[in-house]
Structure 1
Amino acid sequence: MGHATVRVDPAFAVGPLNRRLFGSFVEHMGRCVYTGIYEPEHPSADALGFRRDVADLVRELGVTVVRYPGGNFVSNYRWEDGVGPKGERPVRLDLAWRSIETNQVGTDDFVDWCRSVDVEPMMAVNLGTRGIAEAVELLEYCNGDDGTQVSERRVAHGHEQPHDIRVWCLGNEMDGPWQMGHKTAEEYARLAEETARAMRRLQPDLELVACGSSNRGMPTFGTWERVVLERCFDLVDHISAHAYYEPHDGDLDSYLACAEDMDRFIRSVVATADHVAAVRGSDKLIGVSFDEWNVWFQARFDGESSLAIREAPELIEDVYDVMDAVVVGSLLITLMQHTDRVAMACQAQLVNVIAPISTRPGGASWRQSIFYPFALTARHARGTVLRPAVVSTAVDTAEYGALDQLLLTATLDEGSGDLVIFAVNRSRTEPCELTLDVVGLAGSAAGGAGYRLVEHLVISDEDPHARNTEDDPERVVPGAGTSTLDGATLRSVLPAISWHCIRLTEGTPR
């Protein structure tokens, strides 16, 4: 059995928890939109054609911000096609995913859906096949209120009040040769600079996200970020990062530890941004928009060129197991550990396409295993992210070397007195005995009463490949873990391949 000793103290904090870390992503890809969030013929459809059963799951998931409409899709997208009367919208060929796009869902529809499920919209503009003029016109259509021709089109389409979208992505993965309109770093930096300048003429207080590297393994990684920020530093607020994880060559030890890659990715981007700031003599802190991340079994995907052209095809609908849920939980822990510099994060995608929510056209919807660590973290993480001191048994990985067996973070809500521990045992074979000292927090407890244990939730299974399906939608659900709290010391045994949410609160033990 492995061992981990942890101490948490409010004096050692990363910073306030950024609620935008619990974002998601809706792209016109596969069945994410059509028969995902939108299906007018479904028995649960609302007046706008959106599935109420899916909306209920989105609320339960706890999503705070949703990026739209792509993704690769945006680099070939004409936003004008998706507004106005549905019967007049053109049917187009989407080159990104070789699909027929009906445009029955577009900008106004998406914003209406966001308001109905209480999430913040995050919009991307096409800097692949289009440019500055189209980006500014989309911004004016969404946020303008000056009675101009463009903003009056929105009013004529039934939206008198501006959409007030605050966060805008300047293209998507423009470093990738797979992208429509792929550019070099210099080409993209110049276009992003001028697009940002023009958009800020219309609305100076926008939050703008420049494209960073589409993954840490790109040959231009690091150089791309530097070149882009040297041109755009004063005009953008954030730079994006994307990462997807899967086992390679059967190496499950490294897969369980892949949050280490995300951690190194974030640190590298922050270091590059801070280098550009230092050279400019600036104190400005560029945020990281980690606006695509998830488990994705790309080795099972034959690529876009293999796809037959059709409408809303079933595309990369991966089915996730317990191990995948544990990995997703570890990635969320890592994002929280960087709450001081990660401005937002979007799990890709929301429904059907590598998603926590699955649906059947005309039928059921259900939660995948990865739904639970996201939903429970979004629900219970509050207040300040602490920086725990961890001494742990190591696990050996081929890809990352020796790492702590236990990955852990904690949040403290000083208003309610809630302390929540989020932990992953990333050993494939060995349980981990956890001893956690909360003595540093005891003095802040109400009336000096100390802490009491509220609950311990765990995702684990004797079969790490257990998964939820339409026929067995509750095969994998959170269970009760085993913890004891003796004074200021919490003790738990965490099974191999497991994710945990342990909740404590101020007050006399019951």
Structure 2
Amino acid sequence: MRVSAAIHRAFEISEIDDRLYAAFIEHMGRAIYSGIYEPGHPEADANGFRRDVAGLVRDLKIPAIRYPGGNFVSAYNWEDGIGPKEDRPTRLDLAWRSKESNQVGINEFATWANELGIDMMLAVNLGSRGISDARNFAEYVNHPSGTYWSDLRRSHGVEQPYNVKMWCLGNEMDGPWQIGHKEAKEYGRLADETAKALRQLTPGAEMIVCGSSNNEMPTYPDWERGVLEECYENVDYISLHNYYGNSSRDTLNFFGKVEETGRYIQAISGVIDFVKAKKRAKNDVHICFDEWNVWYHDREEDSRRWRTWDWPEAPALLEESYTFEDTLFVACLLNEFIRRSDRVKIACIAQLVNVIAPIRAEAGGPAWRQSIYWPYQLASLYGRGRALRVSVDGPTYDCKVADDVAYLDVAATHDTQAGTVTLFIVNRHLTEAADLRMALTGFENARLAEHQVIEGHDLMTRNGPGQETIAPVPGKGLAVEDGTLGGAIAPLSYHVLRLRV
């Protein structure tokens, strides 16, 4: 399979927002309790947070994290998680039919995030609550002193405000499953007024309004139009969510869902542009793809279990065990986000630990990297700077969700500060290697400085505790000569090449 490709120094897409590699963690299952937080664990620090898990998170170089939900936030009283722990109430979490002990609240989570150098993206409850509670939460979090809520924070041992700049205005409000589900116009009005109130407390704060829960919702994409017509001038992002699966066991169709995501992003970009033109607005609204991941391996079984269980505390839920096939899919999806970085400025892998997550941790036991950890880490480490347009001319295939899907999936970034060009390449072909020739126009003096590859695994291979079989290794067979990158890309393989330029 012969493939010719090209990049050009001058042909840029956009500056990549570092938050393209953000994450999400919710009070759900074991994401918090026995995930990031487990007092009494051999690796627990003085605050009860697991150092082994924190180390794996730190290595991801995550710029921001969305918290505390998710469906959880739509019936959450943030006040339950502040003050002395012994006085905090245990509540029923209606979203996941479990008990919430509130032993981790905003101050504990902020301590953990701050130690890891991660900015918080906080969600407010616009399901069972509204503007007043969102305003109080923001005052507690962001106001320096001299008011009821800011002084209450100080009495809890937090002298300085957190200065949170990113606020999610509810969660999946288009979904009938959501506590406090609303129609588009109703929600858009509430989001608009909440955004105005929060901006008075924190000038310059960024507001993220709920878009569709996925692109198969019956209200998609009219939901986005209806919401934005009510709040366009007062928000900065509209959120998109999507989860992916391969229940049909059709690998090429699974990979083709990345192309479907590109259409999803393009469609909502068109809605944004339409509403901007209709309102004669001056500001731009971008996309925050703040929930994405593979989720299907145990989804049906989990759905049956959590709907019938008797309100357990921190139960095992949505603990997907990811495969090598999932590794390749996640790599391609991250490539798509890079290619769409002119519209998608923030994206959050959902979630971070235990719950459909790149990191798993046993209660009282070890933590380990799942197979999807690696493409997420490599993109986060090296997918910075400016996205470059990539021209690819090679064989394609048709599948159920998309036609003309390129077997060779390529994204490229140019980091002028680091003096590097990074290429992210996935060969989606099941059996054939790609004989690649890529012109590096404008980078004629480029030299290959690093080549990492993940390849050679059965598609159903998984990592586990003490057995991280799927991991990057030094690559070979590719070289740069006279401004051209050439060599063989094995079938079902993922390559990251860093060029000094």
Q: Same fold (TM over 0.5)?
A: yes
Distance 1:81 1:365 in 2: 29
**Correspondence for 2:474 among 480, 483, 493:** 480
**Secondary structure at 1:270 match in 2:** helix
> What letter is aligned with 1:47?
A
> What's the CA shift string for 1:84-142, capped at 9, x where partnerless?
11111101110000111000000111111110111110000000111111000000000
> What letter is aligned with 1:491?
G
**Correspondence for 2:413 among 393, 411, 414:** 411
**Alignment check: 8 A CA contact 1:256 1:427 kept:** no
Match for residue 114 of structure 2?
115
Distance 2:259 2:208 in 1: 24
Match for residue 177 of structure 1?
176
Determine whether 1:60 maps to 2:54: no
Distance 1:310 1:415 in 2: 50
- For 1:419-430, list aligned pairs within 5 A: 419-430=421-432
- For 1:47-196, list aligned pairs within 5 A: 47-196=46-195
Match for residue 290 of structure 2?
291
**Alignment check: 8 A CA contact 1:467 1:475 kept:** yes
> What's the CA shift string for 1:441-496, capped at 9, x where partnerless?
22xxxxxxx12111221112241211101142x21111232212222111132222
Distance 2:371 2:10 in 1: 35
Distance 1:381 1:120 in 2: 19
1:197 positional shift: 1.9
Q: Once superposed, what is the RMSD of the aligned Cα atoms?
A: 1.3
**Alignment check: 8 A CA contact 2:253 2:400 kept:** yes
- For 1:238-387, list aligned pairs within 5 A: 238-297=237-296, 298-303=299-304, 304-387=306-389
> What letter is aligned with 1:494?
I
1:499 positional shift: 1.5
1:299 positional shift: 4.1
Question: For this pair of structures, how many residues does the alignment match?
Answer: 497
> What's the CA shift string for 1:64-85, capped at 9, x where partnerless?
1100000000001000000111
> What letter is aligned with 1:138?
F
**Alignment check: 8 A CA contact 1:395 1:427 kept:** no
> What's the CA shift string for 1:157-192, capped at 9, x where partnerless?
010100111000000000011111111112211211
Match for residue 15 of structure 1?
14
Distance 2:184 2:114 in 1: 36
Match for residue 447 of structure 1?
none
Determine whether 1:436 maps to 2:438: yes
Distance 2:152 2:420 in 1: 48
Distance 1:324 1:393 in 2: 22
> What letter is aligned with 1:470?
P
- Structure 1 unaligned residues grouped into runs of 5+: 443-449
1:301 positional shift: 3.3
Distance 2:256 2:428 in 1: 6
**Alignment check: 8 A CA contact 1:292 1:346 kept:** yes
Deviating beyond 6 angstroms after TM superposition, the runs of 4 or more aligned structure 1 residues are none
Match for residue 197 of structure 1?
196
**Alignment check: 8 A CA contact 1:456 1:501 kept:** yes
**Alignment check: 8 A CA contact 1:248 1:255 kept:** no
Distance 1:462 1:121 in 2: 36
1:204 positional shift: 3.0
Distance 1:83 1:495 in 2: 53
> What letter is aligned with 1:156?
S
> What's the CA shift string for 1:334-381, capped at 9, x where partnerless?
111111221211000000011000001111000000000111111122
Match for residue 491 of structure 1?
486
**Alignment check: 8 A CA contact 2:30 2:314 kept:** yes
> What letter is aligned with 1:182?
H
> What's the CA shift string for 1:299-340, capped at 9, x where partnerless?
443254234420110001010111101111111111111112
The normalised TM-score by structure 2 is 0.97
Distance 1:308 1:396 in 2: 46
1:250 positional shift: 2.2
> What letter is aligned with 2:357?
A
Distance 1:64 1:204 in 2: 21
1:284 positional shift: 2.2
Determine whether 1:457 maps to 2:452: yes
Distance 2:13 2:308 in 1: 45
Distance 1:285 1:429 in 2: 44
Distance 1:499 1:455 in 2: 14
**Alignment check: 8 A CA contact 1:140 1:202 kept:** yes
Aligned-pair identity (%): 45
- Structure 2 unaligned residues grouped into runs of 5+: none
The normalised TM-score by structure 1 is 0.95
Distance 2:247 2:492 in 1: 18
> What letter is aligned with 1:113?
W
> What letter is aligned with 1:429?
T
Moved more, 416-425 or 213-222: 416-425
> What's the CA shift string for 1:400-444, capped at 9, x where partnerless?
1221111111111223321110111122232222111113322xx
> What letter is aligned with 2:89?
P
Distance 1:59 1:374 in 2: 13
**Alignment check: 8 A CA contact 2:142 2:201 kept:** no
> What letter is aligned with 1:268?
A
Distance 2:121 2:232 in 1: 20
**Correspondence for 1:467 among 462, 471, 486:** 462
Moved more, 249-258 or 208-217: 249-258
**Alignment check: 8 A CA contact 1:42 1:362 kept:** yes
> What's the CA shift string for 1:488-510, capped at 9, x where partnerless?
1111322222221011113xxxx
**Secondary structure at 1:306 match in 2:** coil
